[in-house]
A = this chain, B = another copy of it.
Amino acid sequence: MTYCVGLRLRKGLVFMSDTRTNAGVDDIAQVCKMTSWEVPGERVFTVLSAGNLATTQTVISLIDERTKAPEERNPSILEAPSMFQAATIIGDLLREVVKSADPSGQSAGSTFGATLIFGGQIKGSSPRLFLIYPEGNFIEAGDDNPFFQAGETKYGRPILVRAWDDEMSFESAIKLLCVSFDSTIRANAGVDMPLDLQILKADDFRVSQSRRMERDDPYFREISQSWSDALGVALGGLPEFEF
């Protein structure tokens, strides 16, 4: 399993992903699911990946190769004129990779399927955030759906739905994501520390901040421990039921 979130704020984009991959509970490993490409001052992209690891690594490698060999005919996201075009390139790559492993059933239900969260900014337009499906098509975050989750999305969703705010600071967004990830990690053994974290500030056109939170990260541990107490207080403050 996996848990990845991309958040769209007025100030920019925030990404967080776990690092556990598994082929059965008896076969777990650690892998980074967050990859970025930048042309400093001009464009920046980040991809979070969930699903079949062979598929996602192949897609990332293909994107990577294309960015390094611009003379070839294949379109590179570093030359795409817009975020939409870049998302289309990545979606097409994803579809091809899934299809090559599983010619019959290229779909969300396929063993070889994967879902990508793709965000970034190209000079001249705003930061944009997309969710790319295994079929290669995608949707974009907007005011009504300001974030995307991939992988084990359910445990960590209620707090995002309730507490997300367009105007929040990057620091508050990271706090919110830590709570969401902690709820998920507690419930699903297929999601685990360390966590990768990244900020793309609007109009920064580079990875503004990048951090790995290790298993013993003091901030994450404090959030994890304090949140149960804070919830207890919050619950205590709600009106009591009466028969």
How many chain A residues touch B (CB < 8 A): the figure is: 40
Given contacts A222-B239, A231-B163, A241-B174, contact A183 B158 (CB under 8 A): yes
Cβ contacts A207-243/B at 8 Å (1 or 0 each) = 0010100000001001100111011111101111111
Copies in the complex: 2
Question: A22 → chain B, closest Cβ, in Å?
Answer: 18
Give A158 to B231 CA distance when docked, in angstroms: 11
A228 in contact with B154 (CB, 8 Å): no
Q: Does A175 contact B (CB under 8 A)?
A: yes
Q: Find chain B residues with CB under 8 A from A162 CB.
A: 227-228, 231-232
Given contacts A158-B155, A227-B162, contact A233 B234 (CB under 8 A): yes
Q: Which of B222, B228, B240 contacts A172 (CB 8 A)?
A: B240
B158 in contact with A240 (CB, 8 Å): no
Question: A166 → chain B, closest Cβ, in Å?
Answer: 14
Question: A221 → chain B, closest Cβ, in Å?
Answer: 11
Give A154 to B230 CA distance when docked, in angstroms: 21
Cβ contacts A130-156/B at 8 Å (1 or 0 each) = 000000000000000000000000111
Given contacts A223-B239, A230-B237, A241-B171, contact A161 B178 (CB under 8 A): no
Q: Find chain B residues with CB under 8 A from A227 CB.
A: 162, 234, 238
Give A103 to B82 CA distance when docked, in angstroms: 55
Q: A155-B157, A162-B228 are in contact. List 19 more A-B contacts (CB 8 A).
A: A156-B158, A158-B158, A158-B183, A158-B186, A162-B227, A162-B231, A175-B241, A176-B235, A178-B241, A209-B243, A211-B243, A219-B241, A219-B242, A223-B238, A226-B239, A227-B234, A230-B234, A233-B234, A234-B234
